Amino acid sequence: MQDKCPTAIAQATEPNRDCGDFQTLYTNHMTCNASLDRTIVLIGLMGVGKTTVGRRLAQALDWPFKDADEEVEKAAGRTVSEIFDDFGEAGFREGERKVIARLLEQPPMILALGGGAFMDPETRALVKDKARSIWLQADVATLVQRVGRRDTRPLLRQKDPHAVLTELLEKRTPAYAEAELHIDAAGGSHQKTLNRILDALNAGSSAS
């Protein structure tokens, strides 16, 4: 990857562009970039911040970013909600599996998966084979607060988000736990989460 650190990192650290932050990110970036040659997949429940954090991570590393839900929407010519309405959840999952398999064949990128994608055993196996995986973790109260900002998730439509997310967290935790890195995405801002990811990647790359 070409080195566009100063600009990319300066943007990535907005709005907390204090010197300490900048220095940590910059240092991490330099060491990370040398050893990261595989797609990094972000997994976790709805509302945890996979897309927002993923975009910032991509910017910090100067890598491309893709969101699996957006790619499924492009492929289907419909929104996720419309796909659920027209083909049911099973139809959505089938499309999601194919699109993710295609994305994992592409050159390295930061890839945010929809919350249910990693539950599919084929997708999980493919991610383990071809990518690095990061589970963004948050408690249900934080997730409920964050999902309240958008009304585009069919699994939450006309339901109690707290009840749905509690059930999904319990059901999905064993699969999510298979991710290579587990990162706290609840305590503090998305910027803090990004810093934790960069630290973890950096620690991993210096250990190997």
- Give the CB-nearest residue to ligand S3P: 114
Q: Among residue numbers 77 through 106, which ones bind ligand S3P (CB under 6 A)? A: 80
- Answer for which of 153, 190, 201, 202 binds ligand S3P (CB under 6 A) is 153
Residue from 116, 126, 179, 197 binding ligand S3P (CB under 6 A): 116
Q: Are 175 and 157 in contact (CB under 8 A)?
A: no
Least Å from the CB of residue 25 to ligand S3P: 25
If the CB atoms of residues 42 and 198 are measured against ligand S3P, the closer one turns out to be: 42
- Which phi-psi region, left, alpha or beta, contains residue 172 (left: φ > 0; alpha: ψ -120 to 50)? alpha
- In three-state secondary structure terms, 207 is helix
- Which of 28, 32, 69, 118 is close enough to bind ligand S3P by CB under 6 A? 69
CB 54, min distance to ligand S3P, A: 10
115 in contact with ligand S3P (CB under 6 A): yes
Per-residue contact flags (x/-) with ligand S3P for residues 43 to 62, judged by CB under 6 A: ---x---x------------
Among residues 154, 175, 192, 204, the one that binds ligand S3P under rule CB under 6 A: 154
Query: What residues have CB less than 8 Å from 197, skipping those under 6 apart?
Result: 53, 57, 134, 181, 183
Interior/surface letters 18-45, b for 16+ CB within 10 angstroms, e for the rest: eeebbebbbebbeebbeebeebbbbbbb
| Angle made by CA atoms 92, 81, 63, in degrees to the nearest 5 | 70
Element (H, E) at 201: helix 190-207
Within 10 A of 177 (CB to CB), how many other CB atoms are there? 10
Candidate segments 26-34, 54-62, 111-119, 178-186, binder of ligand S3P by CB under 6 A = 111-119
The contact set with ligand S3P (CB under 6 A) reads: 46, 50, 69, 80, 114-116, 153-155
